[in-house]
A and B are shown apart, each in its own frame.
Chain A
Amino acid sequence: MKALVVDDSRAMRTILSRILRKAGAAEVREAADGCEAIACLESGAIPDLVLVDWNMPNMNGLELVNALRRRPEWRQVTIVMVTTESEQRQIVRALAAGAHEYVIKPFEEESLFDKLALLGFPQASAVTGTGSTQQEVFSA
């Protein structure tokens, strides 16, 4: 699995990158906002999975999801929003725009592994070997 973590918080990028490597990601890149993420993809580094924060300067997470879904060559990328935005209308907007999953911070590591496994990244489920009982995760 190749992954891209998009979050303006370096701390959160570090945490998410650590979790993804634990989940078997062979390569994890990081971007501080949507613009950096687009530049990363345009350079040819197309990931299998993108974890996207919502509130970021320059280009926010929803704008990034829209941009990813507009380009045919990027449509196969799996998108998971990882954010503190917990309003139902925001969740609906993100999923309608094309995010596959919506995870509200804070989240349990195991719940993210389970969701990644369900999204077709089976190495993630091997980390815990069990299903967790995470409540703050929404699916498209």
Chain B
Amino acid sequence: MSMLTAEAVTEITQEIWAALLASDGRSPLLPGDLLTGEVTAQIHISGEWNGTVCLHCSRAAAGHATMSMFGMSEEEVTWADVVDAVGELVNVVGGNIKGLVEGPSVLSLPTVSEGSAAAPPGHLELAQEVRFSWMAEPVVVSVWAAPAGE
């Protein structure tokens, strides 16, 4: 658990954004304090450490990510494309966070839903939350941990 710091989550997320979405360096993921958005992606980590990694962002940020990944125009983007793009982002973020937690574990397949109400199961506790601004849109990564012994 000790490696699961806000700095580590920030570094992982910024690295992924740079590699997958902003290789030209023109649209970096910056620290921010904007409100969470309308698209939520989740992925679960199970093993010695159990928890959930969530990626919340605005519909606009999800759209930008989708256009960047698929090389699409705004008019071409469908919800299915958004699910694929944001699902892959949380998959890569979750996979890297999995590398920070103790012991062997497995990653679930990602899920993506509309609305920030798609919160992780109630018994999980917030371990880290990092807020970013990307293209003036909110992006939030949160890591939720099961209580010790679960």
Contacts and interface: CB of A to CB of B under 8 A. Distances in A.
Interface of A: 8-12, 14-15, 18, 55, 57, 83-87, 89, 105-109
Interface of B (DSSP majority class): helix
Nearest to A10: B84
Given A55-B109, A106-B16, A86 B85 contact: no
14 contacts: A9-B84, A9-B91, A11-B88, A57-B109, A84-B91, A84-B94, A85-B98, A86-B99, A105-B19, A105-B92, A105-B96, A106-B18, A106-B20, A107-B19
A20 B123 CA distance: 44
Contacts, number: 61
B91 A86 contact: no
Contact of B96 (A10, A12, A84): A84
Q: Report the contact-size class of chain B (Cβ under 8 Å from the partner).
A: 20 to 34
A87 B99 contact: yes
B46 interface: no
Contacts of A18: 71
A55 to B, nearest CB: 6
B104 A106 contact: no
B107 A11 contact: no
B79 interface: no
Contact of A84 (B15, B71, B84, B95): B95
Nearest to B20: A106
Contacts of A55: 91, 95, 106-107, 109
A15 B87 CA distance: 14
A55 B147 CA distance: 26
